[in-house]
Amino acid sequence: MQAYFDARETMAAEEREHALFQRLPGVLTQARARAPAIARQLRGVDPAQVTSRALLSQVPVLRKSELLQVQHAARIARAVGTGDAERVRVFGGFSTIGWGAARRVFASPGPIYEPESTRPDYWGFARALHAAGVRAGDLVHNCFSYHFTPAGSMMETAAHALGCTVFPGGVGQTEQQVRAMADLAPQAYTGTPSFLRIIFEKADDMGVALPSMRRALFSGEAYPPSLQAWFEAHGVLGYQAYGSADLGMVAYETDARDGLVINEDLIVEIVRPGTSQPVPEGEVGEVVVTTFNPDYPLVRFGTGDLSALMPGVSACGRTNGRLRGWLGRADQTTKVRGMFVHPEQIARVLDCHPQIGRARLVVSGEMGHDVMTLKVESGVQLDVIRVAETVRDQTKLRAVVDVVPLGSLPNDGKVIEDVRRYD
C-alpha cells in the first residue's frame, strides 16, 4: 500500500519552501488581475517581490468578517448581473470565476458564498483521505451535508479523485444510514465523529452488525483521545482533518497522531490575534492561510481559529509543518462598560510599547462593575502609568497595568480574557 499521497509529502523542508515562494508571485499576479478584491488587498505590493515569508507578512491579513462585509456590500451595490459580473456581485471580487466556470456555488453562515470549479479534488481533501487509509476501489459512506455548505462535496470530490465510489448519506435518518451501511458494506466513513457514533449505537439497538466499516475521516468537530479510543474499540481507525469552506483542507492527521500536517498547496502562518504579525514558532495565535487556488485565491486569509506550529517533523515521515490542532477562536472581542474592546486595540498598545512581550487584558468584576487589568510581561522597567494612558487612548476605558514575570502568561493565544461573574 502506497504510504504517501505524492512525493511532495516527503520533500526537504527547504525545497518545499523554495518551491512555494517560486509559485507565489505568479499566483498573486493572476489574482490581482482577475479578482478586484485581491487587487485592493495587494495595493502597493509588487507580487514579483513577494518571495519570502517576511515579505508576505507585509500584506495585510484579510479576516473572514471583512470578506463577509465586502460580499454583502457588493450584493447591495449590484442587484443584478450575469456572467463575469457574478464574480463581483456574488463573491465580492474574491473569485476569478463566475457562472459556467463554477460547477457549484455554496453558502456558508453569513451568508458567505464560495465557488467550486471543475478541477479534480477542488477542496484538497484527497490527501487527508489517503492518510486515513482510504484507497481506490473503496466505497465511502459520506455523511456530511450536501445542502448549502460544501462539506458533502469536499469529501465526495476527494473520494472520486482517489478512485472511490461514494454513497451520499448526508445527515439524519439514522436507521436508514444503518441499513445502507449493512447492505452496501462501505469501507470508509466521512462526516462528524459524533454522527458515526450515533449510527453505531443505533446499529447495536437494531441488532445489526457493521463489520466492513474500518476507516473514517472526521471533521467539523473535536475528536479527542477518548472518542478515538471508543472508535478503535469498535474496529474503526478514525483520523481528523481541519479545513474551512473558504480554503478547503488546511491540515490533516496521520497515523503518527502527532499534530496535523499542513496541506502542500498552502502557506500557513500563525499571527498574533488582531494583527498581521507572525508569532514565534510554538506560540499560539490565529491561523492565517494563503492559497494557491486559481479560482478563489485568498491571500493571508485570517481563519479566526487559534493554533500553533509544532517544532520538527512528523514521525510518519511527512516533512511539512504541523499544527497543534484547533485551540479556540481568535475573535475575543468583548464589551466593557458598554464599549467594545477588540484584540486589535491591545495590539496597538503593544506597538506603542515595544518593551512589552506577551500581554493579556483580563476583564473581571461583577455586572455593572467591570474592571480591566492589562497583564504584561517585560524584562525591563516599565512606565506603567504611560502604558495605562495608552490603553485609555486606544479603548476609551481605564485599566490597571500589572507587570508579571516573563513566561508567566499562558501560551494559549488569548489577548482578552473575560472572567466576569454574572450569577
Show pLDDT as tens, one digit a residue, over the chain (423 residues): 578 999 999 999 999 999 999 999 999 999 999 999 999 999 999 999 999 999 999 999 999 889 989 999 998 886 544 445 888 999 999 999 999 999 999 998 888 999 999 999 999 999 999 999 999 999 999 999 999 999 999 999 999 999 999 999 999 899 999 999 999 999 999 999 999 999 999 999 999 999 999 999 999 888 889 999 999 999 999 999 999 999 999 999 999 999 999 999 999 999 998 889 999 999 999 999 999 999 999 999 999 889 999 999 999 999 999 999 988 877 777 878 767 788 878 988 999 999 998 899 999 986 557 889 999 999 899 999 999 999 999 988 899 999 999 999 998 888 898 888 654
Q: Is residue 384 part of a domain?
A: yes
Query: Which residue type, as a one-letter code, is found at position 417?
Result: E
Q: Is 164 left (phi over 0), alpha (psi -120 to 50) or beta?
A: beta
Compute how many other C-beta atoms are within 10 angstroms of the C-beta atom of residue 67: 21
Q: Is residue 267 part of a domain?
A: no
Q: Is residue 264 part of a domain?
A: no
Element (H, E) at 19: helix 13-34
Which single residue is written with the C-alpha cell 473569485? 95
Quick one: cell of 86? 457574478
Query: Which residue type, as a one-letter code, is found at position 166?
Result: V
**pTM of the full structure:** 0.83
Distance CA 163, CA 157 (A): 10
Q: Is residue 397 part of a domain?
A: yes
Q: What is the CATH number of the domain that holds 392?
A: 3.30.300.30
Number of domains in the chain: 1
Q: Is residue 189 part of a domain?
A: no
Query: Which residue type, as a one-letter code, is found at position 333?
Result: T
Q: Which domain holds residue 379?
A: 334-418
Q: What is the DSSP string of 156-224?
A: HHHHHHHT-EEEE--S--HHHHHHHHHHH--SEEEE-HHHHHHHHHHHHHHT---TT--EEEE-SS---
Q: Is residue 80 part of a domain?
A: no
Distance CA 242, CA 188 (A): 18
Q: Is residue 358 part of a domain?
A: yes
Q: Is residue 414 part of a domain?
A: yes
Element (H, E) at 405: none
Q: What is the DSSP string of 366-404?
A: ETTEEEEEEEEEESS---HHHHHHHHHHHHSS--EEEEE
